[in-house]
Structure 1
């Protein structure tokens, strides 16, 4: 997956918005004002931080060399995924979906209802 494909997929989520709150190097995708994905614009391979259930985060790190504790993030709840070819794009999309849903579910009910 490349940055353009990642951007297109993240922005296809209901209520998703993009911004550069940390400078021009890091593209942040949010829903309801909370981040669900952060991508390094110029990294090769593509590097993306995704929110993850803590138990699943550990399992993914053990199963894939390209999955690491979240860079500059809470290591319990975030993974950094390197798009080196080890991870299929379809699997990366599933992890983006999981991240989005974890964040969406944490939003107040009134905000969640506006996303439909």
Structure 2
């Protein structure tokens, strides 16, 4: 998965938008909250409600998942792209991060779900 594909996938989420809060660092947000830190070779996502849940990624992918600096204690991990973690699992991690962040938003700031067209 390329950084552009990663960012494009993040933008498929309802209410998602890209921001550059720090020069050269692109993040995906919903409302005013970050749900993915996008990078050239990795993505930072909320991998669980707490550190214990997020540690499952570290156990499964010890060379490609790491506790995120500063945010790690809150369940955020950095997942390396192009390694042992399949792209579909990275997309699943983005989905889960988005859902965890949206669940914490006040109802007034939660985006409307896209209609199901199936």
Q: TM-score range with shorter-chain normalisation?
A: 0.7 to 0.9
| Number of residue equivalences | 109
The gaps in structure 2 that reach 5 residues or longer are: 114-118
Helix, strand or coil for the counterpart of 2:37?
strand
Question: Does the CA contact (< 8 Å) of 1:66 and 1:84 recur in 2?
Answer: no
Deviation of the 1:73 alpha carbon = 3.2
Which residue of 1 is the match for residue 28 of structure 2? Answer: 29
Which residue of 2 is the match for residue 50 of structure 1? Answer: 45
Q: TM-score, normalised by structure 1?
A: 0.87
Pairwise CA RMSD: 1.2
The gaps in structure 1 that reach 5 residues or longer are: none
Q: TM-score, normalised by structure 2?
A: 0.86
Deviation of the 1:85 alpha carbon = 2.6
**Runs of 4+ off more than 2 Å:** none
Which residue of 2 is the match for residue 106 of structure 1? Answer: 104
Which residue of 1 is the match for residue 94 of structure 2? Answer: 96
